Amino acid sequence: MKFLRFLAVLLLILGLLVLGLFISGNQYLIKGAWATYLHGETSATIDDMRFFDTRTIQATNPKNWDKSSSFNEKELSGELREVLEKTRSVAFVVVKNGELAHEEYWDGYSDTSLSNSFSMAKSITTLLTQIAIQEGFITSWDDEVSKYLPELEGAYRNELKLIHLSTMTAGLQWDENYHNPFDITAKAYYGPDIERLMLNEVPVVNPPGEVWEYQSGAPQLLGLVLERALETSISKFAAEKLWFMLQAERDAQWHLDHKDGTELTYCCFNSNARDFARLGQMMLNHGKWKGHTVVDSAFIAQATQGYAVNHYGYSFWIDTDDHLTPVYYMRGILGQYIIVIPEKNLVIVRLGRERLEKKDEHSLDFHIIVDEVMKYF
């Protein structure tokens, strides 16, 4: 009897707690706790797609990669292998001269395994926006955001342009904090209505275009612009204008805020290492794939140069240290990389669960990966 009373009181307390979370607008904490702590994790993981509603980016024109005549014959250096294992890598792919040169997987992953891109999706969103400009859905990068999102709030709302969203110069009220469950970043990741969050809780509080500050809210606003400008969903547009053109081998999945909802365009594009490599190869080919233009070459050149700072362009990270031509790349929080090295005609994809500390604006593991691959491939 005492146990039943204890159980009843416990259920009542839990019920009141859940009710309080909904009343306060913090119900996203339930999903966040379920996807992390209750599954033995302390933060988002590369495998958390199963906790989200998703929309499929269909691969309707698949073609296998050509393999180099020396495919997988070159041994990775001891330093590179040590870093890949230390950072709990699950996939590592090297493409040289447009052919697969090296491919390796760990922890049960394979060439068909999907992994969360995290912030590499920011670069994909920028590419899709450029394609939408080419297709006439959006006029230009100088369009005012309020043209598409008149509900946008903040003292500088009418000064915010699309270019500011891609270059991290938006001036939003946004704290990029990955450890506070009550922070706006957690709300965006686990919340049920990303549009309401962005338009009601993320005002433009500083003059756009003046200061570089990494804010995930900026590419999410860009995604909302894209969603309103298109005549279809972002995922369907990506399937038709990107995945089809790149001859991707496998369907990809994009996290939504709820069933049939809005893509989380600042993160969470789930694909495999081989298909991620296609994005890098297209960039290396100045926006072309197999001779067909996917993204305008002039934009590729512009996007991979520093905008407000030397290390960041239009959602692409840039490393100019000791390279004949800059190395540029897409980056996710746990060391997800699509790296393009023009002077060596190389594309590298690394997927995994951790990354090393920062050396400068780039992580130490990034520098080791680039330096070692350039030596041996």
List pLDDT tens digits, range 198-243: 999 999 999 999 999 999 999 999 999 999 999 899 999 999 999 9
Residue percentage of the chain with pLDDT more than 90? 82
Bridge partners, residue 55, by sequence: 254
pLDDT in tens, 286-322: 999 999 999 999 999 999 999 999 999 999 999 987 7
The per-residue pLDDT for 5 is 54
Residue with tokens 């909802």: 261
Cβ-Cβ contacts under 8 Å for 198 (sequence gap 6 or more)? 188, 217, 220, 221, 224
The full set of domains in the chain, from first to last, is 2-39 (no CATH), 48-137+230-376 (3.40.710.10)
Task: State how far the Cα of 63 lies from the Cα of 324, in Å rounded to an integer.
Answer: 33
Helical ranges in the chain per DSSP H: 2-23, 28-35, 78-86, 120-134, 162-166, 184-190, 194-201, 217-229, 234-238, 273-284, 297-303, 364-376
The per-residue pLDDT for 4 is 47
Task: State how far the Cα of 129 lies from the Cα of 136, in Å rounded to an integer.
Answer: 11
Residue with tokens 């180099």: 68
Task: State how far the Cα of 377 lies from the Cα of 371, in Å rounded to an integer.
Answer: 10
**Contact between 246 and 294 (Cβ < 8 Å):** yes
